[in-house]
Amino acid sequence: MKYLKTCALRSGSSGNSILVSSAHSTLLFDAGITGKGLAHALEKLCLNPDRLKGILITHEHWDHTSGLGVLLRRYKVPLYINKDTLRALSPSIGKFDPNLINIFHSWEEFQIDDFAIKPFPVSHDAEDPVGFTVSNGLGSVGICTDLGYADETVYQALRGVDICYLEANYDPELLKVGSYPLYLKERIAGHKGHLSNDECARACLRLLEQGTERIILSHLSNENNFPHLALLTVNDALVEAGANEGIDYKLLTARRYDLSETQELKA
Ligand SMILES: [Zn+2]
Ligand SMILES: [Zn+2]
């Protein structure tokens, strides 16, 4: 049977990893998870580690790569990464088989087994940060977190994806009154920082117009957001624009320390 499943294993500043799998293969987007955590997650999802066909990296920040070295050594899975991100990571990643490295370029689609993957650039304070779309002919998933703002590039890349992980990092009021130092507040809210709930809501509206029906609010801040607040802000904006929850769209939040609800598309 043909299917496409996706599950966020971790989401937020303490770690990010998203699985996408088909009947043939499984891909891991970002490696902000321990070897033990990944093994446990695969077991829970009844996925054999042998089916892991690639680890794809969005950018070098620790919350996306803390487990990368261990995972590469343990599972010997091919790594897909761009040149500048690899260079930034090299000092901290440890030794691994260089034959595992595959370099990608933004907008250039490549294939891993039955998956077509397209990386696209996003605005974030890393060397060459990207988001991804991944499809297997049955459906498609967009992965788009860690971005200061959503521009036309982002909308062009995510046009028509069935399921989208989109960042809803912070509530502007909570960030303003919170305990973070000013420089950090400015970094988060800046053009190379993170997407707020309100910015996310505007982006969700656009995604809905472009045909996306399931959106998973992701990379929520522990300090400056709450899952119910992110959901409420985005939902209110979508309902106000005339969309009907459950009919036009489904909205969820990704969990910080545990597996999120698996999303599935079937033939
Ligand atoms: Zn991050
Ligand atoms: Zn980041």
pLDDT for the residue numbered 2: 87
Q: pTM here? A: 0.97
If you measure from the C-alpha of residue 242 to the centroid of ligand 2, how many angstroms do you get, rounded to a whole number? Answer: 33
What's the gap in Å between 109 CA and the centre of ligand 1?
Answer: 24
Nearest to 59 by CA among 8, 107, 121, 152: 121
Domain extent at residue 136: 3-266
Provide mean pLDDT across the span 194-209: 98
Instruction: Provide the mean pLDDT of the chain.
Output: 96
Rounded to the nearest whole angstrom, what is the distance from the C-alpha of residue 124 to the centroid of ligand 2? 7
How much distance in Å is there from the Cα of 194 to the middle of ligand 2? 8
pLDDT greater than 80 at residue 38:
yes
Ligand 1 geometric centre to CA of 65 (Å): 9
| CATH number of the CATH domain containing 176 | 3.60.15.10
Q: Into how many domains does the chain fold?
A: 1
Distance 233 CA to ligand 2 centre (A): 23
pLDDT of residue 49 exceeding 90 = no
pLDDT higher than 80, residue 1: no
pLDDT class of 267 with cuts at 50, 70, 90: confident
Q: Which helix (H) or strand (E) holds 212?
A: none
Tell me what pLDDT residue 198 has. 98
Ligand nearest to the CA of 187: 2
Average pLDDT over residues 222-249: 96
Identify the nearest ligand to the CA of 10 by its number: 1
Minimal CA–CA distance to 75: which of 110, 104, 33? 33
CA–CA–CA angle 40, 100, 154 (5° rounding): 75
